[in-house]
Chains A and B, each alone.
Chain A
Amino acid sequence: MSHWHHFRVWRGDSSEGDLVDYPVEVNEGEVVLDIIHRLQQTEANDLAVRWNCKAGKCGSCSVEINGKPRLACMTRMSTFADDEVVTVTPLRTFPVIRDLVTDVEFNYVKAREVPAFAPPEGVAPGEYRMQQIDVERSQEFRKCIECYLCQNTCHAVRDHEENKAAFSGPRYLMRIAELDMHPLDAADRKDSAQDDHGLGYCNITKCCTEVCPEHIKITDNALIPMKERVVDRKYDPIVWLGNKLFRR
């Protein structure tokens, strides 16, 4: 059942690197990560790749396969023609550390800047009451496995290093939406979404939704509704007048 396939893997570090060709054996049912592991076990012991669960649940093995951001553990070899070259490269938006491993610190910095869940005052642990229908919105966003494929693909930062300071990216704008839609969160997050996290940089091209391995409707269910909430506030004539009159 096995056959030979032409693999091309980017090898290198932060200063230099190149694509290296490997002919590899592929067996029935295998995914791209299996092939990377086979290379590690045989001719390239030092080939660097991040991975953990190998079941699409931890979001560690994000790479670009033939130019598309994918999880290596969920990309089956049977999706390629037998004579198709499979090219595996590191995520382009983040700096390379070694081979397929990139420095994803950007995401941890942005995560720290989103104010945490604000518990409702006067509600003791064990007394939280929420209806299923009300938690489902935020639950969809909490399916996120933080693979950063959306962060990697979003053109607002992919080709614009200069936007990284002002723009938190789809994952963390969705986190703000998640908290804003949490039935018991006590904080107001609308102004900060726009002013501190760059919600306005998103021009809803839905690239993030397209690459999401969890099939979360990031644009439709998180970013657009969040934009609407911000707009409702920002351009509401009564709020605007109030702000003018009672500016502190």
Chain B
Amino acid sequence: MTDQTDRTVEHHEYDVVVIGAGGAGLRAAIEARLQGKRVAIISKSLFGKAHTVMAEGGCAASMGNVNENDNWMVHYRDTMRGGKFLNNWRMAELHAKEAPERVWELETYGALFDRTPDGKISQRNFGGHTYPRLAHVGDRTGLELIRTLQQKIVSLQQDDYVVTGDYQSHLRVFHECTITELLRTDGRIAGAFGYFRNDGRFVRFDAPAIVMATGGVGKSYQVTSNSWEYTGDGHALALRAGATLINMEFLQFHPTGMVWPPSVKGILVTESVRGDGGVLRNSEGKRFMFEYVPDVFKEQYATTEEEGDRWYTDPDNNRRPPELLPRDEVARAINSEVKAGRGSPHGGVFLDIASRKTPEEILKRLPSMYHQFKELADVDITKEPMEVGPTCHYVMGGIEVDPDTGMSSVPGLFAAGECSGGMHGSNRLGGNSLSDLLVFGRRTGLYAAQFSEGARPAVDPAEVEAAVDRALLPFSSATDGGENPFVVQLELQKTMHELVGIIRKADEMEMALKKLEDIATRTRTVTVEGHREFNPGWHLALDLRNMLLVSLCVARAALERQESRGGHTRDDFPVMDSDWRHILLVCSALGEDNVELTRKEQIPMRPELFDLFELDELKKYYTGEELGGHRADRGETR
């Protein structure tokens, strides 16, 4: 048993340390091990429980198994449109090109996706994707991904066992371990410091290359589909280590979360319900999405229910129903319907699959959803509609990285998956997250392995001592009468939910920033009772400062961006503004609980990628000066 004041620090050395054991982290670790490196995986929860299991719909990859017209260029265009052209186009390009290989590779690890009649991987429709593109297993695709990667890790450990007699000699999972500080020497990554959750003992990992794969920040919000782990650790650790974050104003509110009963509010209802034919209705029974197709998407979406319904069986000759618009559009529409008094009894709208599919089809295609509603809400989705509303789901913003290697501005610090920024621009398409974490998980694993062959900076003992002091602070605050961390967390969640939520206003965000200042003071002095053995109060006390720092980034960036785009909607600036498209907002840390915001120009898209779009479409997003050099200017057609 660890004494409360014990300052002993366990010590490990690795070539590559991966922080986070979701899809991106595991794929990075697999790649680094395949490159011959000694690799540690650090996970806040048990191995195999990561938030990736919550991904339901599927993994987007233009394999063309269901519609052979699909290819990487179509996927690239869909991704850029979904992100309203603010995406890091190089990441979007790599993602679209490499996703199919990454999915096929999973089959060689043992994954079992649903099949087409000719035995290939089946693909399903999803919002914003032109063709059926999502590889899936019913509505539990994330679980399949995490289990497959977990089993591949075990397989690599078995190979090592044959050679060394030790399963963990070259690839070891340290689970239920939280990193609280990154250690730097002369501006380069030297290691990481943290504690084991089960007994509270401290640990330090020395490594020249560290991959952040810590996921998102949703726990800073009251209504979220995210678990307790999503406290923005990677974002905050990287910031404090000198890296920068971009696009933090863009948060995805998934349009369909459960709204009732109160205790499950926010839990995700997969987009596959709509992909498979489910429709949204208001209290008057009307399919209201037809009223909400924005101008930029007018050409691609059906204008009548009849056309929308025909699309499911004849997609080549009809346009898709507007229920399948990108998530930001659908979330805003639901929000407006509820505000206009046309919501369901518990403040959402109705999502109806019961009248559209037979009970057998629903049970086959959406088993988890059936189970979830039956057991948590007493609703039989084969007989009655679900009540749904927006829930904080995904952060598009994250650590600013080099698109090819995934390295941040701090040498040796890499990032992949949700905690990295740029790939999805202002809004992520459903299905692009699982493919993102495979593509960039592999890339960061590869380049972190290469980077680890360089110099190994020695860890500075003073930094370790400082990290120990900070980790123990909540125990010493106890004598000074500090607050219960759970109370401060609730206050933070309420502030972000009410003042920097789905629809934003300048005065509300200014008020949020004032409140966050106060919460910062309280966060520094939260107090913890008892011991260091699996003590949730202590764990939260330390996570809280990460939640605070990322909340500050979100609020600052959201106040700065005076337009509405993707996952950022301003009541006082309701229109998308081309002059903002090429501007990225960059956050860097000023101490433990303050951030600085700067503007940065987006690099213009490479000409041959620019030429993949028609000029008429680009005009909707770009300023006049930016359009010069398009193929139309040269008199060429595609």
Which stretch in A129-137, A194-202, A234-242 binds the other chain? A129-137
Given A116-B155, A125-B101, A125-B107, CB of A55 within 8 Å of CB of B119:
no
**CB of B97 within 8 A of chain A?**
no
**CB of A139 within 8 A of chain B?**
yes
Report whether B107 and A46 are in contact in the complex, using a CB–CB cutoff of 8 Å. no
Which residues A160-201 have CB closer than 8 A to chain B? 179, 182, 185
**CB of B405 within 8 A of chain A?**
no
Report whether A104 and B46 are in contact in the complex, using a CB–CB cutoff of 8 Å. yes
Report whether B137 and A117 are in contact in the complex, using a CB–CB cutoff of 8 Å. no
CA distance A178 to B601 in the complex (A): 52
Shortest Cβ distance from residue A26 to the other chain B in the assembled complex, whole angstroms? 10
**CB of A246 within 8 A of chain B?**
no
- Closest residue of chain A to B44 (Cβ to Cβ) is A52
Mark A31-59 against chain B: 1 for CB-CB distance below 8 A, else 0. Answer: 10010000011000111111111111111
**CB of A210 within 8 A of chain B?**
no
- Closest residue of chain A to B118 (Cβ to Cβ) is A129
Which residues A4-43 have CB closer than 8 A to chain B? 13, 27-31, 34, 40-41
Report whether A125 and B104 are in contact in the complex, using a CB–CB cutoff of 8 Å. yes
Q: Which of A31, A116, A128, A130 contacts B158, CB < 8 Å?
A: A116
**CB of A68 within 8 A of chain B?**
no
Report whether A59 and B49 are in contact in the complex, using a CB–CB cutoff of 8 Å. yes
Mark A47-86 against chain B: 1 for CB-CB distance below 8 A, else 0. Answer: 1111111111111100000000000001010000000000
CA distance A179 to B49 in the complex (A): 21
**CB of A112 within 8 A of chain B?**
yes
Given A46-B529, A145-B53, CB of A29 within 8 Å of CB of B262:
yes
Report whether A112 and B534 are in contact in the complex, using a CB–CB cutoff of 8 Å. no
Report whether B537 and A45 are in contact in the complex, using a CB–CB cutoff of 8 Å. yes
- Closest residue of chain A to B155 (Cβ to Cβ) is A116
- Closest residue of chain B to A179 (Cβ to Cβ) is B110
Mark A83-105 against chain B: 1 for CB-CB distance below 8 A, else 0. Answer: 00000000000000111010110
For B267, what are the chain A residues with a Cβ–Cβ distance below 8 Å?
54-55
Report whether B228 and A45 are in contact in the complex, using a CB–CB cutoff of 8 Å. no
Mark A109-144 against chain B: 1 for CB-CB distance below 8 A, else 0. Answer: 001100111010000011011111001001100111
**CB of B45 within 8 A of chain A?**
yes
Report whether A135 and B112 are in contact in the complex, using a CB–CB cutoff of 8 Å. yes
Given A29-B263, A111-B154, A119-B108, CB of A76 within 8 Å of CB of B375:
yes
Most buried by B among A31, A57, A112, A139: A57
Given A99-B534, A117-B151, A135-B112, CB of A60 within 8 Å of CB of B46:
yes
Mark B535-577 against chain A: 1 for CB-CB distance below 8 A, else 0. Answer: 1111000000000000000000000000000000000000000
For A135, what are the chain B residues with a Cβ–Cβ distance below 8 Å?
112, 114-115
**CB of B235 within 8 A of chain A?**
no
Given A116-B154, A129-B118, CB of A53 within 8 Å of CB of B53:
yes
For B157, what are the chain A residues with a Cβ–Cβ distance below 8 Å?
112
Given A45-B529, A57-B53, CB of A117 within 8 Å of CB of B486:
no
**CB of B195 within 8 A of chain A?**
no
Q: Which of A98, A143, A185 contacts B533, CB < 8 Å?
A: A98
For A144, what are the chain B residues with a Cβ–Cβ distance below 8 Å?
147
Q: Which of A101, A103, A112, A146 contacts B154, CB < 8 Å?
A: A112
CA distance A31 to B157 in the complex (A): 38
Report whether B375 and A56 are in contact in the complex, using a CB–CB cutoff of 8 Å. yes
Given A57-B368, A97-B534, A115-B158, CB of A45 within 8 Å of CB of B263:
no
Q: Which of A55, A108, A139, A145 contacts B268, CB < 8 Å?
A: A55
CA distance A29 to B261 in the complex (A): 5
Q: Which of A97, A130, A142 contacts B198, CB < 8 Å?
A: A97
- Closest residue of chain A to B115 (Cβ to Cβ) is A132
- Closest residue of chain B to A57 (Cβ to Cβ) is B53
- Closest residue of chain A to B146 (Cβ to Cβ) is A58
Q: Which of B262, B484, B528, B533 contacts A97, CB < 8 Å?
A: B533
Which residues B242-287 have CB closer than 8 A to chain A? 260-264, 267-268
**CB of B376 within 8 A of chain A?**
yes
For A40, what are the chain B residues with a Cβ–Cβ distance below 8 Å?
486, 536-537
- Closest residue of chain B to A78 (Cβ to Cβ) is B378
**CB of B515 within 8 A of chain A?**
no
- Closest residue of chain B to A48 (Cβ to Cβ) is B534
Given A179-B110, A182-B112, CB of A60 within 8 Å of CB of B45:
yes
Shortest Cβ distance from residue B319 to the other chain A in the assembled complex, whole angstroms? 29
**CB of B167 within 8 A of chain A?**
yes
Shortest Cβ distance from residue B463 to the other chain A in the assembled complex, whole angstroms? 29
Report whether B486 and A52 are in contact in the complex, using a CB–CB cutoff of 8 Å. no
For A50, what are the chain B residues with a Cβ–Cβ distance below 8 Å?
45-46
Report whether A117 and B536 are in contact in the complex, using a CB–CB cutoff of 8 Å. no
Report whether A29 and B529 are in contact in the complex, using a CB–CB cutoff of 8 Å. no
Shortest Cβ distance from residue B98 to the other chain A in the assembled complex, whole angstroms? 13
For A179, what are the chain B residues with a Cβ–Cβ distance below 8 Å?
110
Report whether B119 and A131 are in contact in the complex, using a CB–CB cutoff of 8 Å. yes
For B227, what are the chain A residues with a Cβ–Cβ distance below 8 Å?
51-54, 58
CA distance A131 to B114 in the complex (A): 9
Given A13-B533, A74-B375, A97-B198, CB of A28 within 8 Å of CB of B261:
yes
Most buried by A among B105, B107, B531: B107
Which residues B457-490 have CB closer than 8 A to chain A? 484-487, 490
Q: Which of A30, A130, A132, A142 contacts B263, CB < 8 Å?
A: A30
Interface residues in chain A, defined as those with a beta carbon under 8 Å from any beta carbon in chain B: 13, 27-31, 34, 40-41, 45-60, 74, 76, 97-99, 101, 103-104, 108, 111-112, 115-117, 119, 125-126, 128-132, 135, 138-139, 142-146, 179, 182, 185
List 12 contacting pairs A-B, 8 Å CB cutoff, sorted by A.
A27-B262, A29-B262, A34-B263, A40-B537, A46-B528, A51-B228, A56-B376, A58-B54, A97-B533, A116-B155, A117-B155, A139-B112
Add 15 more A-B contacts to A45-B528, A46-B538, A57-B143 (CB < 8 A): A45-B535, A46-B530, A50-B46, A52-B229, A53-B54, A54-B227, A55-B54, A56-B375, A98-B535, A104-B46, A116-B152, A142-B143, A142-B147, A146-B49, A185-B110
The 9 nearest A-B residue pairs measured at CB: A29-B261, A117-B110, A116-B155, A45-B537, A129-B119, A125-B104, A48-B534, A126-B104, A41-B486
Interface residues in chain B, defined as those with a beta carbon under 8 Å from any beta carbon in chain A: 1, 45-49, 51, 53-54, 63, 100-101, 104-105, 107-110, 112, 114-115, 117-120, 122, 137-138, 140, 143-144, 147, 151-152, 154-155, 157-158, 167, 198-199, 227-229, 260-264, 267-268, 368, 371-372, 375-377, 484-487, 490, 528-531, 533-538
